[in-house]
Amino acid sequence: MFVDSHCHLSFPGLAEQLPVIRADMRAADVGAALCICTTLEEFDEVHALACSDNNFWASAGVHPDNEGVLEPSVKDLLRLAEHAKVVAIGETGLDYYRLNGRTVAEMEWQRERFRVHIQAAQHTGLPLVIHTRTASKDTLDVLTAEGDGRVGGVFHCFTETLEVARAALDLGFYISFSGILTFKNAHDLREVASFVPLDRCLIETDSPYLAPAPFRGKTNTPALLPWVAKQVAELKGIAVEDIARITTLNFERLFGVSITASTTQ
Ligand SMILES: [Zn+2]
Ligand SMILES: [Zn+2]
């Protein structure tokens, strides 16, 4: 059985067709998923998804890209984290890809938001789901300064260098690979995936984005996760069933959950 460690089932394109997505997941043996929260406004919907299936869980957090949304306080995140089935804080982190004419110095609001999430993770003991894009140095710096080595979690949809992977692993983080790993031009990323120890690997779809090859450009769903697993299996030189088993165990260990045999209640 495969576990999708990062998907956005509440997003348009997926939310309207959950019954079909669930049937496709069952057919593809994708038996569990972490539903990721990206705004406080969205939390109730993400949480309802988590409560609708034994093997769905939720995170609580505000994505670094989201502007013009409610700004979370540590207290807000702690309150959301008290809900059943909330097993992670995030997704959070730094994203300097779309600066929209601003300098990195002017993105202090993002770093401050990130610190708030790190503090919430420290208070709750929940792992962080980290999003980092064009900002790996600052992401690691803020984590080290604020986290003091006491928070763990996962760097999701990893696209950074081997050096960044090593630094994240040294801080105790897991690394999650998405469909990007299957893209033709992702040679460097495949090298990173070959390097990351299997007991620290997770797999994800980041649905509805980043459908793996041969579905690149189409709407992604958790049912396409085995294509990511196949790519990891190829790089590691082991069977895809072993990738499924190991990444499932890793997911259970990191998020402190146990996946049950049936997918629906
Ligand atoms: Zn992300
Ligand atoms: Zn995401």
Q: What value does the mean pLDDT take over residues 80-98?
A: 97
Residue with tokens 């790519």, as numbered in its chain: 231
Distance of alpha carbon 49 from alpha carbon 233, whole angstroms: 30
For 151, what's the count of Cα atoms within 13 Å in the CB-facing half-sphere?
30
Distance of alpha carbon 241 from alpha carbon 51, whole angstroms: 28
Q: With a cut of 50, say whether residue 263 has pLDDT above it.
A: no
pLDDT tens, position by position, 63-74? 999 999 999 999
Centre of ligand 1 to C-alpha 206, Å, is: 7
- Our CA angle for 70, 98, 4, nearest 5°, is 70
Predicted confidence at residue 148, as pLDDT, reads 72
Centre of ligand 2 to C-alpha 264, Å, is: 23
Percent of the chain whose predicted confidence (pLDDT) is above 90? 95
Predicted confidence at residue 147, as pLDDT, reads 72
Centre of ligand 2 to C-alpha 91, Å, is: 6
Predicted confidence at residue 135, as pLDDT, reads 97
- Relative to the alpha carbon of 92, which ligand is closest? 1
Centre of ligand 1 to C-alpha 129, Å, is: 8
Identify any residues that bridge with 175 across adjacent strands, giving them in sequence order.
155, 201
Q: With a cut of 70, say whether residue 211 has pLDDT above it.
A: yes
pLDDT tens, position by position, 113-127? 999 999 999 999 999
Q: What value does the mean pLDDT take over residues 203-209?
A: 96
Centre of ligand 1 to C-alpha 46, Å, is: 15
CB contact at 8 A, 132 and 95:
yes
Residue 175 dihedral angles phi and psi, to the nearest 5°:
-120, 130
Predicted confidence at residue 166, as pLDDT, reads 98
pLDDT tens, position by position, 140-187? 999 999 977 679 999 999 999 999 999 999 999 999 999 999 999 999
Centre of ligand 2 to C-alpha 129, Å, is: 9
Predicted confidence at residue 265, as pLDDT, reads 43
- Average pLDDT, whole number, for the chain? 96
Q: Which one-letter amino acid corresponds to residue 106?
A: E
Identify any residues that bridge with 60 across adjacent strands, giving them in sequence order.
89
Range list of H helices, 28-107:
43-51, 74-81
Centre of ligand 2 to C-alpha 6, Å, is: 6
- Relative to the alpha carbon of 139, which ligand is closest? 1
Q: With a cut of 80, say whether residue 242 has pLDDT above it.
A: yes
Q: Bigger pLDDT: 261 or 228?
A: 228
pLDDT band at residue 262 using 50, 70 and 90 as cut-offs: low
Q: What value does the mean pLDDT take over residues 251-258?
A: 98
Q: With a cut of 60, say whether residue 90 has pLDDT above it.
A: yes
Centre of ligand 1 to C-alpha 131, Å, is: 5
Q: Name, in order, each residue with C-beta under 8 angstroms of 227's C-beta and a sequence gap of 6 or more.
A: 179, 182, 212, 213, 214, 215
The string of DSSP codes covering 170-201 is HTT-EEEE-GGGGSTT-HHHHHHHHHS-GGGE
Centre of ligand 1 to C-alpha 176, Å, is: 11
Query: What are the residues whose beta carbon lies below 5 Å from ligand 1 (ion)?
Result: 131
pLDDT tens, position by position, 37-58? 999 999 999 999 999 999 999 9
Structure tokens belonging to residue 222? 């958790």
Residue (of 130, 73, 136) closest to 104 by Cα position: 136
Q: Which one-letter amino acid corresponds to residue 71?
A: E
Predicted confidence at residue 176, as pLDDT, reads 98
